[in-house]
């Protein structure tokens, strides 16, 4: 960290048009720096309209060459905008790019302060801070690491499927990890999709199949990611492949085992509790992969130790009761998280009666009811399984736009509810009431669809449903579900008796989204959606290099949006793969072995496992490739034995001195 | 002296959240007082208490430590380490005769430009109310005998 | 003053306890080497000597001065400056001269309070609130006692120091080693380290010499040394006992931990550490096993005196309680 | 118009002191002022610290007798927590303490007080030091001295963890015990220490008692004061350094009072003078009558001599013999001649060495039961030991966390501040007569007056240390300066 040669510093103050010059007296700042910071090594201080312009950069390059500058301070905008620009300029002039320090006198001064003199003297202080800091800069070389061409896609819903296929088609290896027995996600449970009303399965299954059969895709269902180590380009991922109790190499997916299995189990996941499956099962006929899984919790053999019907009848001896979980480790360069959403649990809103009043259905239940392949073969009937409803109420925004539950809009519920209205009408001819707060039909062909449903005669009542009860007040309400609502258009309270109610539940983040985020080292918003790098300009990347997000994991969205984001994430990954290698910021920590006492205080601090203890030498060691440069261990080392490049103690301490104008006679400063 | 008193405040920011919040406050043109001067760190976990003490010893009247919200740390959990240090630092400063209000911990995400600005403004007023940093009972003016000790030279302080 | 051709040696104590002198005497036989190699011109505790002789000496004519004790009074400061002038090598000897040591804790109060407290104890018979005065008229004339400085200062805060030798007191084997080194240097058999170096100590911290076994640290509660039967072979800090070893310069052979007592930090900070206490704050905080502010507070309650814990020896040398903070110059 | 002599500072005492001697126009001593020039403020800055740190913090009051402060603090901390350390702990502490006594008394006799006798008060300054002693009595003896100090410090380190500033005493006992191997080593060293103590007494007989000039000096009136005497005694009223009751005898040698350490404040008060940073303790119930001796004055002293005067005898056989010889030679109890302290000190040296062996051979000494975990709520406590330079009292009050809220310290040397001042005055008056040229020798004789007390102003100035030039300004009757002698250190 010690400075080798005598400092020759150039200071460049940017006007940024009037953005800075409008508030900060840039000329004064430059003159001041030239005069007062001379004894700190400043040999030249200039001002210029736009430092970032090619002319501005040339100015710097010229000075570096002609004045033999060995350090540069640029007082302009935020380093997040132009640090690269000016580092490149230095590099062009043959100066190590890390000998450049940026001072943000736009975002931190001119744009936020009005008092010109206060702003100007603050700018001076910041320049002095930059100068003091840069005196301690040392040449650094960015570590470049090769990018592993393989990619991990977590989540086999439509978003994950899309990105997997894009990358695989481009000829790169993809691992798809899905925790359910089959890929397909929520979309596989739907019957129709809005607004086109085409068959969900018909458009999804072909994609599922091509994922399952693609030579570049390694499909790992009934599996979960347990650990992610490493960094962009070089992630090492540990995956638990849960025991299916089925030998995949032997199983043909003939389905005999499911036929013969004597144990019926209510299917809460796929059939939303409306139907049954066996203890050994594939969630649905078109499942990919075709192999069934054994439901150990419910299998008679595991309960009683006898049965083994499946084993007896399996033509290929594919059943393996002793099969154990497998731990796989895969190397990938990039990761796409498409872990999807959970449906809001309508039980939480007790006055809607879901779970208490039999004929109140959740949206997912209705999807299954209306699904030709569902428990009722597409028949819309009441809980009793036969009665066809004459009147149906559909409640929008269940759990959404509601400060008691989720304050955000779930985006899809309006269109979903409208779709339901159509299906009910089509299958039963019943009168349909939709209860909405606002209709949000904002995308291509959506509003047209809405109009069409209006024409079908569905009644839309604007108002938030207060209560759903089965307590009649008048004869006409006998045996009905009564929906209590304020019709805000008519401006009156209404009680509407119906046979069936469908609650259009909103979407919410996966219950374990925060835990998942931790595993992958990304962050979640307060409500649990993954945070994108930039809400507008970078909605698929995350703050963690090499990790991208797609689909509802990032926030509620409909199928087309999920597909688009999946493809976008794939495009970003392909871009990275094409770069072949990635340069890491050389902000790293390292241990001075002589000074390390082996106290092991730092050992527990690194979340990236970059710190290890060498028992033989009784000292701590830091792996520069794993180190992410947060500097926590540097600050923690009681012996001062850990040093950090880019943000060394010397640099920060000097900057503080500079900011406090410690190296200048006070009288001339606080003017 | 307090009539003319303009506090000087050093703020330590995290490269991933609060520093970006400051950027955002800028792009959104949200105004706040010019008393605060920011230092960028990669993470609040990098905050060595030495920096805080250095700032106070160098003339800062207050120090603001900012980082990502709990659970949102770019480096997963390092902001919790900053939290622990902060709590211990406050206790120690109290023992050294400084008002604990002179240092402040603020969680601010990259999206909270407005909040960042208002918190800075609030802190400036808190410090203004506390007045210039005085050195408790160890202040030179309280000496036995007339002689006032001469301060250590800077090189020694920062050596 | 004798015409002895031997190089001249001096040892002086300012605001000190005398432990440093005893530590030098505890080099036992080495004392005889010192006597053989040097002309001891000045050593208050061990011999009489003439100030006028010292004053008459040429500047720089004393080869080696071991200066122990902090700068508590104007006299201390005066002598420090005189000896600096007379000596080629000025060594800040022992914790007091290096960092203020325990008496440096006085910088938590102002010097008037020190006197007032001392003269109002339960056994003090002082109904008329009488306090010492720097000059006082007795019937026979005026007599004086020195002015106490507002804060206790370290040697380097008042004069230029060539070498720093930490420890309270410096370990005798380290003193012996340094004496050997100097003697060898005089005989041209060895090189002295660069000016400003820390001598007679290691570059790492006490843990480096501590024999106790260590693993990754994570603490749910701090313990008082008397409150538990501490495991004799395991790291004290891991047992919750606030041991300053991790941040304290090595060189003492980790004697206190070896004796079952926590390191209290007398050897001061390691190389390149600016503020000893700040280091300890971040390292202690780092091993606290909690992310919950309330629980963290509960755990910290176990450290009943953080300020004393972190600045026991180092206060006068610390950033915030150094003799009048540097910033007074930077601000008006 | 008076003439002033300043002896500043006084050398070869641990710590700092300054003497102002005023002569009247006849050149006779008008008055003397013995000033302590600094104050460190332990009573103030120890407040706020946890009480278990006191054995470590107060060590730094004095590096010459840190063991004494370590013990007093440890005992006070035990009291604060209302915990009684197991016997092994107490014995180990006393063993450490006995070994320390051997070292400390050796240091004083051979390095500090000794030179005055061994070399003679008029010997050249350059030789009036330990090296001079070694040169005179021979390297072989110098080796013995060094070995004695070494042995003592080795034991201190074995039990206390460190040679200087021990660290192992905590509320309820110690942080460690000793092994059988260590015990053996300690015993061997102890037996050697006994021989060394006997040898030292022999040396004293030859060099001092054998030299008429010195005996006259000792028995002469110059260094004699009739004061009260304080010392700690065991159940049999025999001298004990580590524990027991405080006993005070009057100038006639009769018991004046005997009290438990915790009652000290009922018996001791401290007088204040504005011209010094140190206070003057006196017997509260007798009262402060100024710098005078006799039964009417509360002035007392607490030194080896006083401990012998205050006790009925020594608890070990060899020391008891010497004790008897001491009083028969000096004409019965109490002995008032201050210079006899040197002899008394050697008797204590012998006792300490014998006690060392007793404890080292105690079957309990190696037991692992060296700590009792405190369970009581901490409140207030007093700890007292006999420091080589006087009765040392630590008094602490804490809050419920055991954090100090009040600290009071009455340190060994402080007890003797008044008597020392008196000795100085008396010595000055008798050695500085009109016409007597102020010579080094005379000044040194004045210094001898208090050096006999082995005062430790490192200790006393736990309230303040520091040094100033010895400056002797002699003015004639018209106030013109005729000569200025300066001495530093």
| pLDDT tens digits, A246-302 | 999 999 999 999 999 999 999 988 888 888 999 999 999 899 999 999 999 999 999
Lowest mean pLDDT among A166-170, B121-125, D200-204, D266-270: D200-204
Angle, CA B49 vertex, CA A656 and CA A642 arms, to 5°: 95
Q: Write out chain C residues lying below 8 Å of B96, CB-based.
A: 108, 307, 311, 320-321
Q: Considering only CA atoms, which of C14, C308, C328 is closest in space to residue C154?
A: C14
C108: which chain B residues are within 8 Å (Cβ-Cβ)? 95-97, 137-138
Residue A434 CA from chain centroid, whole number: 33
d(CA B8, CA A659): 10
- Which position has the higher pLDDT, A652 or D2? A652
Residue B75 contacts A, CB cutoff 8 Å: yes
Gap between the Cα atoms of D150 and D186, Å rounded: 12
pLDDT at A360 over 90: yes
Measure Cα distances from D275 to A290, A393, C137, D34, D341 in Å: 101, 99, 9, 9, 28
Inter-chain CB proximity C281 and B92 less than 8 Å: yes
Quote the pLDDT of residue B142: 34
Q: Choose the weakest-confidence range: A402-411, A517-526, B20-29, C322-331.
A: C322-331
Contacts of C157 in chain B (CB under 8 A): 150-152, 156
User: Chain C contacts of B77, Cβ < 8 Å?
Assistant: 291
Q: Is the bond into A289 cis (omega within 30 degrees of 0)?
A: yes
D and A interact (at least 3 Cβ pairs within 8 A) = no
- The strand ranges marked E within D291-354 are 300-301
pLDDT along chain D (489 residues), means of 10: 62 59 80 83 94 96 90 98 97 97 87 66 60 66 83 95 94 97 97 95 85 78 88 97 97 96 96 92 96 95 95 97 94 89 94 98 96 97 94 96 96 88 85 66 70 55 27 38 34
Answer whether residue A433 shows pLDDT above 60. Answer: yes
Q: If pLDDT is split at 50, 70 and 90, which confidence band does A614 have?
A: very high
Nearest to B10 among A106, A119, A656 (CB): A656
Give me the pLDDT at residue C285, please.
96
- Sign of the torsion formed by the C-alpha atoms of A443, A445, A447 and A449: negative
| Chain C residue whose CA is closest to D451 | C45
Q: What is the pLDDT of residue D125?
A: 57
Of A47, A48, A550, A597, nearest to A338 by C-alpha is: A550
**pLDDT for the residue A346:** 94
Q: Give bridge partners of residue D229 from the DSSP assignment.
A: D249, D301
Asked whether the beta carbons of D61 and D42 are under 8 A apart, the reply is yes
Strand partners, A428: none
Distance CA C41, CA B135 (A): 42
Q: Which chain C residue is nearest to residue B70, measuring alpha carbons?
A: C291
Model confidence at C2, pLDDT cuts 50, 70, 90, reads: very low
Lowest mean pLDDT among A558-567, C37-46, C257-266, D174-183: C37-46
- C126, D272: Cβ pair inside 8 Å? yes
Q: How far is D332 from chain C (nearest CA, A)?
A: 34
Helix (H, G, I), strand (E, B) or coil at A169: helix
Of the segments A41-55, A192-206, A260-274, D33-47, which one has the largest average pLDDT value? Answer: A41-55
Whose tokens are 């020195």? That residue is C146
Among the listed residues D109, D308, D345, the one whose alpha carbon sits nearest the alpha carbon of residue D207: D109
pLDDT value, residue C327: 36
- pLDDT digit string, tens, across residues B36-84: 999 999 999 999 999 999 999 888 999 999 999 887 788 878 999 999 9
Pairing of strands A151-154, A174-177: parallel
Query: 3-class DSSP state for residue D177?
Result: coil
Q: Any chain A CB within 8 A of the CB of B72?
A: yes
- Chain C residues near residue B92 by CB distance under 8 angstroms: 277, 281, 306-307, 310
pLDDT value at residue C176: 92
Average pLDDT on C244-263 reads: 96
C249/chain D closest Cα distance in angstroms? 17
For C5-38, write each residue's pLDDT tens digit.
789 999 888 888 888 988 888 887 787 788 788 8
Predicted-assembly ipTM surpassing the 0.95 threshold = no
- Answer for the pair A195, A415: CB distance below 8 angstroms, yes or no: yes
**List of residues 6+ apart from C11 with CB closer than 8 A:** C21, C24, C42, C43, C44, C45, C46, C65, C66, C67, C68, C93
Establish if C44 touches chain D: CB-CB under 8 angstroms: yes
Measured CA to CA, the distance from residue D297 to residue D299 in angstroms comes to 5
The better pLDDT of the pair A76, A191 is held by A76
Query: Under an 8 A CB cutoff, do C146 and D468 touch?
Result: yes
pLDDT given at position D39 = 83
Alpha-carbon torsion (D455, D458, D464, D466), positive or negative? positive
* Residues composing chain C: 332
Three-class DSSP labels, chain B = CHHHCCCCEEEEEECCCHHHHHHHHHHCCCCCCCCEEEEEECCHHHCCHHHHHHHHHCCCCEEEEEECCCCCECCECHHHHHHHHHHHHHHHHHHCCCCHHHEEEEECCCCCHHHHHHHHHHHHHHHHHHCCCCCHHHCHHHCCCCCCCCCCCHHHHHC
What pLDDT, on a 0 to 100 scale, did the predictor assign at position D127?
Answer: 62
What mean pLDDT is reported for chain C?
A: 89
B108 in contact with A at a CB cutoff of 8 Å?
Answer: no
Give the start-end residues of each E strand in A232-380: 234-241, 264-267, 275-278, 280-281, 293-294, 326-332, 334-337, 341-343, 360-362
C318 vs B: CB within 8 A: yes
Pick from A134-148, A511-525, A594-608, D9-23: least confident: D9-23
Per-residue pLDDT, D108: 79
- Of the two residues B149 and C235, the one the predictor is more confident about is C235
């Amino acid at each position: 960290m010690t400075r080798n040669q005598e400092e020759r510093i150039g200071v460049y103050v940017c006007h940024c048009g009037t953005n800075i010059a409008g508030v900060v007296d840039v000329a004064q700042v430059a003159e001041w720096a030239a005069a007062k910071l001379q004894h700190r090594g400043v040999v030249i201080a200039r001002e210029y309209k736009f430092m970032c312009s090619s002319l501005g950069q040339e100015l710097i390059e010229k000075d570096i060459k002609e004045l033999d500058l060995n350090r540069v301070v640029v007082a302009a905008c935020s380093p997040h905008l132009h640090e690269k620009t000016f580092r490149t300029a230095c590099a062009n002039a043959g100066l190590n790019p890390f000998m450049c320090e940026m001072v943000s006198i736009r975002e931190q001064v001119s744009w936020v302060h009005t008092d010109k003199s206060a702003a100007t003297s603050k700018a001076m202080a910041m320049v002095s801070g930059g100068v003091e800091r840069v005196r301690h800069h040392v040449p650094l070389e960015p570590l470049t690491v090769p990018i592993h061409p393989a990619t991990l896609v977590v989540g086999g819903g439509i978003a994950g499927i899309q990105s997997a296929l894009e990358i695989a088609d481009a000829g790169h290896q993809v691992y798809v990890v899905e925790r359910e027995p089959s890929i397909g996600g929520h979309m596989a449970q739907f019957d129709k999709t809005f607004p086109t009303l085409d068959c969900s399965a018909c458009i999804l299954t072909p994609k599922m199949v091509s994922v399952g059969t693609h030579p570049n895709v390694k499909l790992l269902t009934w599996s979960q990611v347990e650990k992610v180590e490493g960094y962009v380009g070089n992630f090492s991922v540990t995956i638990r492949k849960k025991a299916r109790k089925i030998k995949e190499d032997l199983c043909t997916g003939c389905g005999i085992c499911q036929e013969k299995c004597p144990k019926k189990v209510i299917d809460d996941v796929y059939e939303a509790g409306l139907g049954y499956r066996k203890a050994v099962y594939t969630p649905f006929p078109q499942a990919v992969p075709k192999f069934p899984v054994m439901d150990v919790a419910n299998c008679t053999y595991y309960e009683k130790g006898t049965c083994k019907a499946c084993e007896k009848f399996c033509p290929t001896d594919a059943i393996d009761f002793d099969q154990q979980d497998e731990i796989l480790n895969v190397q990938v360069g990039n990761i796409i998280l498409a872990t999807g959403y959970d449906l809001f649990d309508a039980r939480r809103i007790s006055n809607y009666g879901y779970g208490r009043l039999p004929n109140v259905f959740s949206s997912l239940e209705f999807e299954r009811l209306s699904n030709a392949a569902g428990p009722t073969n597409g028949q819309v009937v009441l809980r009793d399984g036969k009665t066809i409803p004459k009147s149906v109420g559909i409640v929008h925004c269940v759990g959404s736009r509601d400060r008691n539950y989720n304050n955000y809009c779930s985006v899809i519920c309006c269109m979903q509810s409208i779709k339901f209205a159509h299906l009910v009408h089509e299958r039963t001819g019943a009168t349909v009431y939709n209860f909405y707060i606002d209709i949000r039909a904002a995308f291509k062909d959506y509003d047209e669809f809405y109009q069409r449903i209006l024409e079908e005669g569905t009644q839309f009542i604007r108002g938030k449903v207060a209560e759903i009860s089965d307590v009649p007040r008048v004869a006409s309400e006998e045996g009905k579900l009564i929906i209590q609502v304020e019709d805000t258009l008519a401006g009156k309270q209404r009680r509407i008796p119906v046979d069936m109610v469908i609650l259009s539940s909103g979407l919410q983040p996966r219950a374990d989204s925060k835990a998942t985020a931790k595993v992958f080292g990304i962050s979640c918003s307060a409500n649990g959606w993954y945070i994108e790098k930039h809400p507008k300009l970078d909605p698929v990347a995350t703050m963690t290099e090499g990790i991208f997000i797609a689909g509802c994991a990032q926030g509620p969205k409909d199928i087309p949006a999920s597909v688009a984001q999946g493809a976008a994430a794939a495009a970003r990954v392909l871009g990275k793969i094409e770069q072949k290698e990635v340069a890491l910021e050389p902000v790293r920590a390292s241990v001075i072995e002589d000074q390390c006492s082996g106290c092991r205080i730092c050992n527990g601090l690194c979340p990236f496992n970059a710190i290890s203890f060498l028992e033989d030498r009784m000292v701590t060691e830091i792996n520069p490739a794993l180190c992410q440069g947060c500097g926590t261990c540097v600050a923690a080392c009681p012996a001062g034995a850990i040093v950090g490049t880019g943000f060394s103690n010397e640099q920060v301490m000097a900057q503080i001195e500079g900011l406090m104008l410690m190296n200048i006679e006070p009288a001339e400063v606080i003017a | 002296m307090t009539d003319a008193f303009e506090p000087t405040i050093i703020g330590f920011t995290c490269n991933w959240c609060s520093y970006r919040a400051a950027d955002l406050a800028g792009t959104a043109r949200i105004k706040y007082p010019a008393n605060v001067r920011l230092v960028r760190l990669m993470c609040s976990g990098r905050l060595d208490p030495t920096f805080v003490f250095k700032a106070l010893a160098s003339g800062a009247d207050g120090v603001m430590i900012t980082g990502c919200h709990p659970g949102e740390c770019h480096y997963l959990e390092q902001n919790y380490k900053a939290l622990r240090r902060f709590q211990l630092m406050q206790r120690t400063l109290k023992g050294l005769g400084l008002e604990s209000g002179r240092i402040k911990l603020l969680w601010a995400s990259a999206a909270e430009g407005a909040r960042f600005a208002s918190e800075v403004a609030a802190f400036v007023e808190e410090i203004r109310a506390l007045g210039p940093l005085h050195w408790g009972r160890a202040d030179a003016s309280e000496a036995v005998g007339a002689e006032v000790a001469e301060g250590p030279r800077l090189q020694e302080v920062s050596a | 003053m004798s015409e002895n051709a031997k190089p001249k040696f001096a040892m002086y104590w300012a605001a000190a306890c005398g432990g440093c002198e005893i530590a030098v005497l505890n080099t036992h036989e080495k004392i005889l080497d010192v006597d053989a190699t040097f002309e001891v011109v000045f050593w208050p505790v061990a011999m009489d000597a003439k100030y006028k002789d010292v004053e008459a000496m040429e500047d720089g004519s004393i080869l080696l001065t071991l200066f122990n004790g902090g700068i508590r009074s104007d006299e201390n400061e005066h002598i420090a400056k005189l000896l600096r002038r007379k000596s080629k090598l000025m060594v800040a000897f022992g914790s007091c001269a290096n960092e203020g040591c325990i008496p440096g804790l006085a910088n938590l109060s102002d010097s008037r309070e020190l006197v007032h407290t001392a003269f109002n104890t339960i056994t003090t018979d002082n109904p008329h609130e009488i306090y010492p005065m720097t000059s006082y008229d007795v019937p026979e004339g005026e007599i004086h006692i020195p002015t106490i400085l507002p804060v206790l200062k370290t040697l380097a805060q008042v004069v230029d120091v060539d070498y720093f030798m930490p420890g309270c007191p410096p370990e005798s084997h380290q003193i012996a080693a340094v004496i050997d080194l100097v003697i060898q240097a005089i005989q041209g058999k060895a090189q002295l380290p660069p000016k400003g170096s820390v001598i007679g100590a290691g570059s790492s911290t006490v843990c480096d010499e501590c024999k106790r076994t260590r693993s990754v640290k994570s603490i749910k509660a701090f313990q008082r040394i008397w409150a538990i039967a501490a495991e004799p072979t395991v790291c004290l800090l891991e047992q919750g006992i606030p041991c300053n070893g991790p941040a304290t310069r090595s060189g003492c052979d980790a004697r206190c931990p070896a004796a079952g007592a926590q390191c209290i930090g007398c050897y001061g900070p390691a190389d390149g550490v600016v503020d000893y206490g700040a280091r300890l704050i971040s390292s202690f905080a780092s091993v606290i096993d909690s992310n919950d502010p309330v629980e963290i507070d509960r755990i910290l309650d176990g450290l009943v005196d953080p300020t004393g814990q972190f600045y026991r020896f180092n206060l006068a040398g610390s950033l915030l309680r150094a003799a009048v903070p540097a910033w007074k110059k930077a601000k008006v | 118009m008076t003439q002033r002599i300043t002896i500043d500072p006084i050398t070869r005492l641990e710590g700092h002191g300054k003497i102002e001697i005023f002569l009247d126009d006849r050149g006779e001593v008008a008055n003397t002022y013995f000033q302590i020039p600094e104050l460190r403020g332990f009573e103030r800055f120890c407040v706020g610290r946890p009480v278990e740190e006191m054995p470590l913090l107060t060590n730094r009051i004095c590096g010459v007798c840190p063991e004494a402060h370590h013990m007093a603090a440890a005992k006070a901390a035990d009291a604060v927590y209302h915990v009684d350390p197991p016997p092994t702990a107490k014995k180990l502490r006393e063993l450490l303490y006995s070994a320390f006594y051997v070292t400390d008394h050796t240091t004083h006799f051979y390095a500090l007080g000794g030179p005055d006798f061994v070399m003679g008060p008029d010997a050249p300054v350059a030789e009036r030091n330990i090296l001079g002693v070694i040169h005179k009595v021979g390297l072989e003896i110098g080796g013995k001295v060094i070995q004695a100090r070494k042995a003592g410090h080795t034991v201190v380190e074995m039990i206390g963890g460190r040679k200087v500033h021990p660290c192992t005493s905590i509320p309820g006992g110690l942080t460690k015990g000793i092994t059988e191997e260590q015990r053996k080593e300690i015993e061997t060293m102890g037996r050697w220490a006994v021989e060394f103590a006997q040898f030292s007494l022999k040396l004293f007989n030859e060099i001092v008692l054998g030299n008429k000039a010195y005996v006259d000096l000792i028995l002469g009136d110059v260094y004699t004061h009739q004061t009260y005497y304080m010392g700690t005694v065991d159940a049999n009223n025999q001298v004990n350094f580590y524990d027991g009751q405080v006993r005070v005898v009057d100038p006639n040698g009769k018991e004046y009072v005997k009290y438990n350490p915790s009652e000290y404040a009922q018996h001791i008060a401290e007088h204040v003078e504005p011209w010094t940073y140190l206070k003057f303790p006196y017997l509260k119930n007798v009262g402060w009558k100024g710098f005078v001796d006799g039964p009417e004055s509360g002035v007392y002293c607490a030194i080896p001599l006083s401990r012998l005067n205050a006790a009925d005898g020594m608890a070990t056989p060899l020391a008891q013999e010497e004790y008897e010889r001491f009083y028969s030679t000096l004409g019965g109890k109490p002995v008032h001649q201050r210079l006899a302290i040197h002899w008394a000190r050697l008797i204590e040296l012998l006792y300490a060495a014998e006690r060392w062996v007793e404890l080292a051979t105690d079957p309990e000494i190696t037991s692992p039961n060296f700590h009792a975990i405190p369970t009581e709520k901490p409140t207030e406590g007093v700890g007292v030991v006999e420091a080589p330079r006087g009765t040392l009292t630590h008094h602490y009050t804490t809050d419920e966390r055991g954090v100090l809220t009040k600290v009071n310290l009455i340190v060994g040397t402080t007890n003797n501040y008044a008597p020392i001042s008196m000795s100085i005055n008396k010595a000055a008056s008798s050695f500085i007569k009109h016409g007597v040229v102020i010579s080094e020798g005379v000044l040194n004789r004045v210094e001898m007056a208090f050096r006999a007390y082995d005062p430790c102003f490192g200790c006393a100035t736990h309230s303040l240390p520091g040094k100033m030039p010895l400056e002797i300004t002699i003015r004639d009757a018209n106030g013109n300066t005729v000569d200025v002698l300066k001495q530093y250190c």
